[in-house]
Chains A and B, each alone.
Chain A
């Protein structure tokens, strides 16, 4: 029996963006309010999973043509490089640097922090790991 997923697919098209936005928000707000790379990454994966449910694996793979293992590897690399960069500044491994008052042309006064880069690494690893697991299980017959 062929099912019609029209309602699901239409709703998904709207909701995926909301979830993605929320996940990005959670990711960036992590240093000041609850959230961070881990939950943000899980949320992003949740959006992708919703896509997987509404469409099929091939469609999603065409939509996001990435190998998620590379995503996880990139995340690990970013986290590691963030740590190593502090050694170059003659500080112990993983000593973060920050400036609370940076004036950027578009954002105004902004706080920049290398912890965000580290969190980005976490984010990418979580997305990569979750998607790798779900995709490999899903593709398996």
Chain B
């Protein structure tokens, strides 16, 4: 176990302490005990930046299930470092924020921090594990802990709805990911990501028949986790979680797990044009759709949720375009897209984290997150306003903040597509920058709505439940740190580019160092004009938002409806279906059983050419047999047509005695004896049953005729008969009975072969048959004498 292993497992181990501190030290907020862990992790990861920025990777592995190729292998390279720093860094800030956000007396803090640490450990596991199966395990733990955190206030039905929805969608994707991992294993023979990438570089798997299927399965996993269109619907409903959770899971880390997966597996799949097209198209559609719908939201967190969806779409589309770099060696122009993706990933985590915390503060101080009730808070909450302003401007892509830089790079890489002459990108690819540009205009609009509708305009104290005031300092620390990062990364992007971003790009595509320079001023390039266009059109749209926002009423909430419909309909349909065939009537079930029986047997008999008649083995028919058969057939048929139950019982007795006569004729005296006595006893028992029937049920009536019953019974009889004939006609080997004939006296000292077989050769069967008899007797005895409740046995 290396330190890296312990770093992944530390949050899980740390959870054990939480209930103890919560119970013993009630007066201190549990969050204070949790806070050191992520800070420690952050320090640990930062201490390794030297390793990763020199393009080395820390690798460690311990065997877990070696026979299945599953090792707990961890690898800290550029990409892993980027994500680990995000997880630990924002984790620390979120925990600090939550200490002030969550009341220590009103909330179940022990549960909260256990879930949060579970999530943190799982997320570190996802980004650091090099083994896909272990990665999948941590992937599912993130789903489960996210489920628990969304439903943290589980007395609210909206929380439960949101938790279940996110669970269903992400676990659907998770299972699909598992399928993809297994398919990838079938193609490459390894679960280890590094080994898979090496083997793929040596011999491409693009022509493998499972390639497409594996790719789609993995993409489904990544898209559902990262809330890509049309699986984005769980994210807005996940906003029922406490705000620190939304800030941490649903903007900075968990939703980026899908992005991590796409980046990590790009070297495997990027050779395919489908990968490039699917990832960038879904991303760009998500960007447009998310930003378009964000404008409609009136809830601060709802708006931020759609904004997150949109920004994730942007990162996703950049990763898709970045895949083009695989086809063009030594042309950094395509790597700029990946650089933009990685850079924006960091930027988004900073400004979105701070914006969520801002929304939480507003909610905490005013009692509402509804934009329509908020306004004019600028003077009351100046620090929060500053946070919101910087965050939103960065999100909108205004210079000199970091959002501007990554947005410029985004436009640049979208425009670069035109030069790419593969997979129809040179013709249809021109659509991508247009959609991206339109999406960015909407991004600008909702960013403005977010900050100006909340903090400027008319102050409406009568609509607020509490009297607002500036938040306590402790609550403001985390967002202030985050917006400071927004500004620092905006002014000095160089601090990131060579230490963190460049190694991350290298670990996505391999190769040497990518000399990454992020400039504010590109000269008069098309992307600059696009940005100016975004600002101009965005301002116009923002100022006229009340006029054109009527179109949102015309747009139905399609995907949520489809989800709800699917859920409701599935339940209804299967309910109806089950009610239809599970009638509760034994007759119906018997019909199913017998129909299945006849169908399968006759199908097998005739398709496998099993039917055969061979008369050479048949014995001559004697007079007795003929007469007895006649009696048997007549009494059997008579049972069916008898009008009273008594007649049936007696006819059944007749059948039994005839059978014992058959035994006599076929020389089986033991059987004949037993059959006679048993038949007598069972007829007596039948009579007993008959005697105790309720008077009105004893009414004489014949069996009602049902055609289906008749058909099925005839078919069953026919099939059994055919099989009996066929099996008698194909005797494959001799009987073993000569052994018994020869050895009954020699080896078992008996002359009655039947009895010797019963008690000696195969006495084991007999032992259990008498056990069956004893059980039957005990059963009858207890059924009759032990009557729980109801009427007591008066005789005793």
State the A residues within 8 Å of B (CB): 26, 30-39, 42-43, 46, 68-69, 72-73, 75-76, 79-80, 83, 93-94, 96, 98, 100, 111, 113, 115, 118-119, 121-122, 125-126, 128-130, 132-133, 136-137, 139-141
**When the two chains form the complex, which single residue of A93, A128, A136 contacts B764, counting CB atoms closer than 8 Å?**
A93
* Residue contact A115 to B759, C-beta cutoff 8 Å: yes
Kindly report which residue of chain B lies nearest to residue A113, judged by CB atoms: B749
A32 and B777 form a contact (CB under 8 A): no
In the assembled complex, the Cα of A93 lies from the Cα of B755 at a distance in Å of 18
B794 on the A face (CB < 8 A): yes
On whether the beta carbons of A79 and B767 are closer than 8 Å, the reply is yes
Main SS of the interface on chain B? helix
User: CA of A76 to CA of B748 in the docked complex: distance in angstroms?
Assistant: 22
| B752 within 8 A of partner (CB) | yes
- For A122, list chain B residues within 8 Å (CB): 759, 766, 770
A31 x B750 contact (CB < 8 A): yes
Inter-subunit contact B677/A36 (CB<8 Å): no
In the bound complex, CA of A125 to CA of B428 (Å): 88
Residues A34 and B670 in contact, CB atoms below 8 Å apart: yes
Residues of B within 8 A of A37 (CB): 759
Q: Nearest-CB distance from A67 to chain B (Å)?
A: 10
Residue of A nearest to B785 (CB): A136
Contact check: which of B755, B764, B776 meets A31 at CB < 8 Å?
B755
Q: Is A125's CB under 8 angstroms from B773's CB?
A: yes
- 27 residue pairs from A and B, CB less than 8 Å apart: A31-B751, A33-B752, A35-B755, A46-B677, A69-B777, A69-B778, A72-B773, A76-B774, A79-B767, A83-B763, A83-B764, A113-B749, A115-B748, A115-B759, A115-B760, A118-B759, A118-B766, A119-B759, A128-B777, A129-B777, A132-B777, A132-B780, A133-B777, A133-B781, A136-B780, A137-B780, A139-B795
Residues 763 to 796 of chain B near chain A (Cβ within 8 Å): 763-764, 766-767, 770-771, 773-774, 776-778, 780-781, 784-785, 794-795
Q: A30-B752, A32-B751, A115-B760 are in contact. List 11 more A-B contacts (CB 8 A).
A: A31-B759, A76-B770, A83-B763, A96-B763, A113-B749, A113-B750, A122-B766, A125-B770, A129-B777, A132-B781, A136-B785
Shortest Cβ distance from residue A121 to the other chain B in the assembled complex, whole angstroms: 7
Mark each residue of chain B from 638 to 678: 1 if its CB lies under 8 Å from any CB of chain A, else 0: 00000000000000000000000000000001100110011
CB-contact partner of B767 in A31, A83, A139, under 8 A: A83
Specify which chain A residues have a CB less than 8 angstroms from the CB of B795 in the assembled complex: 139-141
> Is there a chain A Cβ closer than 8 Å to B600's Cβ?
no
User: Within 8 Å CB of A139, what residues of B?
Assistant: 784, 795
CB distance from B767 to the nearest CB of A (A): 6
One of B673, B766, B773, B784 near A35 (C-beta < 8 A): B673
Is B681 in the interface zone, CB < 8 Å from A?
Answer: yes
- Interface presence of B758 (CB below 8 A): yes
Secondary structure type dominating chain A contacts: helix
A32 in complex: contacting residue of B670, B750, B763, B780, CB < 8 Å: B750
Contact of A111 with B749 in the complex, beta carbons under 8 Å: yes
A137–B784 Cα distance when bound, in Å, is: 7
B774 touches A72 (CB 8 A): yes
Minimum CB distance partner of A83 in chain B: B767
CB-based contact B750/A42 at 8 Å: no
Q: How far is the CA of A33 from the CA of B750 in the complex (A)?
A: 9
Query: For chain B residues 734-757, which have a beta carbon within 8 Å of chain A?
Result: 748-752, 754-756
A136 contacts which chain B residues (CB < 8 A)? 780-781, 784-785
A137: chain B residues at CB < 8 Å are: 685, 688, 780, 784
Contact indicator A98/B749 (Cβ below 8 Å)? yes
Cα distance A79–B678 in the bound complex, in angstroms: 22
Residue of A nearest to B796 (CB): A139
Which residues of chain B are within 8 angstroms of A126 by Cβ–Cβ distance?
770, 773
Report Cα–Cα, A77/B752, bound state, in Å.
Answer: 25
Give the residue among B677, B755, B784 with the most A Cβ atoms within 10 A: B755
Cross-chain contact B674 with A38 (CB below 8 angstroms): yes
B760 in contact with A96 (CB, 8 Å): yes
Are A133 and B764 in touch, CB under 8 angstroms? no
Known: A46-B677, A122-B766, A137-B784. A73 touches B774 (CB 8 A): yes
Q: Is the CB of B776 within 8 A of A129?
A: yes
What's the Cα separation between A41 and B50 when bound, in Å?
A: 92
Contact, CB under 8 Å: B764 / A36 = no
Give CA–CA (A73, B777) in the complex, Å: 11
Q: How many Å from the CB of B120 to the closest CB on chain A?
A: 60
Alpha-carbon distance between A125 and B777 when the two chains are bound, in angstroms: 10
Q: Are A125 and B774 in contact (CB under 8 A)?
A: yes
**Nearest Cβ distance between residue A57 and chain B, in whole angstroms?**
10
Q: How far is the CA of A39 from the CA of B760 in the complex (A)?
A: 17
Is the CB–CB distance between A39 and B777 below 8 Å?
A: no
Give the residue name and chain of the A residue nearest to B689 (CB): A137
Q: Give the complex CA separation of A72 and B766 in angstroms.
A: 14
Indicate whether A140 sits within 8 Å of B760 (C-beta atoms), given known contacts A35-B755, A76-B771, A115-B748: no
List of A residues within 8 angstroms of B780 by Cβ: 132-133, 136-137
Contact string against A for B residues 183-198, beta-carbon threshold 8 Å, 1 for contact and 0 otherwise: 0000000000000000
Q: Are A36 and B774 touching (Cβ within 8 A)?
A: no
Given contacts A72-B777, A100-B749, A128-B777, contact A94 B758 (CB under 8 A): no
A128 to B780, CA, bound (A): 13
For the complex, what is the distance from the CA of A37 to the CA of B755, rounded to whole Å?
A: 9
Instruction: Please name all residues of chain B whose beta carbon is closer than 8 Å to the beta carbon of A46 when the two chains form the complex.
Output: 677
Q: How far is the CB of A102 from chain B (nearest CB, A)?
A: 11
Across the two chains, which residue of chain B brings its CB closest to A98?
A: B749
A129, B773: Cβ atoms closer than 8 Å: yes
Contacts of B759 in A (CB 8 A): 31, 36-37, 96, 115, 118-119, 122
A39 close to B677 (CB less than 8 A): yes
Shortest beta-carbon distance, A73 to chain B, in Å?
7
CB nearest to A100 among chain B residues: B749
A115-B756 in contact (CB<8A) = yes
Are A30 and B755 in contact, with the CB atoms below 8 A? yes
A98, B767: Cβ atoms under 8 Å?
Answer: no
A136 to chain B, nearest CB (A): 5
Partner of A98, one of B685, B748, B752: B748
Identify the closest chain B residue to A80 (Cβ): B767
Q: How many Å from the CB of B671 to the closest CB on chain A? A: 9
Chain A residues lying within 8 Å of B677, measured Cβ to Cβ, are: 39, 42-43, 46
A76: which B residues are within 8 A, CB to CB? 770-771, 774
Task: Quote the shortest CB–CB distance from B572 to chain A (angstroms).
Answer: 48
Least CB distance, A91 to chain B, in whole angstroms: 13
A42 pairs with B678, CB closer than 8 A: yes
Provide the residues of chain B in CB contact with A83, threshold 8 Å: 763-764, 767
Kindly list the 3 A-B residue pairs having the minimum CB-CB distance in the complex, ordered from nearest.
Answer: A34-B669, A129-B777, A31-B750
**Is there contact, CB below 8 Å, between B777 and A33?**
no
Inter-chain contacts of A38 with B (CB < 8 A): 674, 758
Cβ distance B268 to chain A, nearest Cβ, rounded Å: 60
Complexed CA–CA distance, A137 and B752 (Å): 35
> Smallest distance from the beta carbon of A111 to chain B beta carbons, Å?
6
How far is B773's CA from A77's CA once the two chains are assembled, in angstroms? 14
Q: Is the CB of A33 within 8 A of B751?
A: yes
Chain A positions within 8 Å of B748 at CB level: 96, 98, 115
Bound state CA distance, A100 and B746, in angstroms? Answer: 10
A111 to B751, CA, bound (A): 12
Contacts of A118 in B (CB 8 A): 759, 763, 766
Q: Which residues of B from 675 to 699 have beta carbons under 8 Å from A?
A: 677-678, 681, 685, 688
Measured CB to CB, the nearest residue on chain A to B793 is A140
Query: A residues within 8 A CB of B752?
Result: 30-36
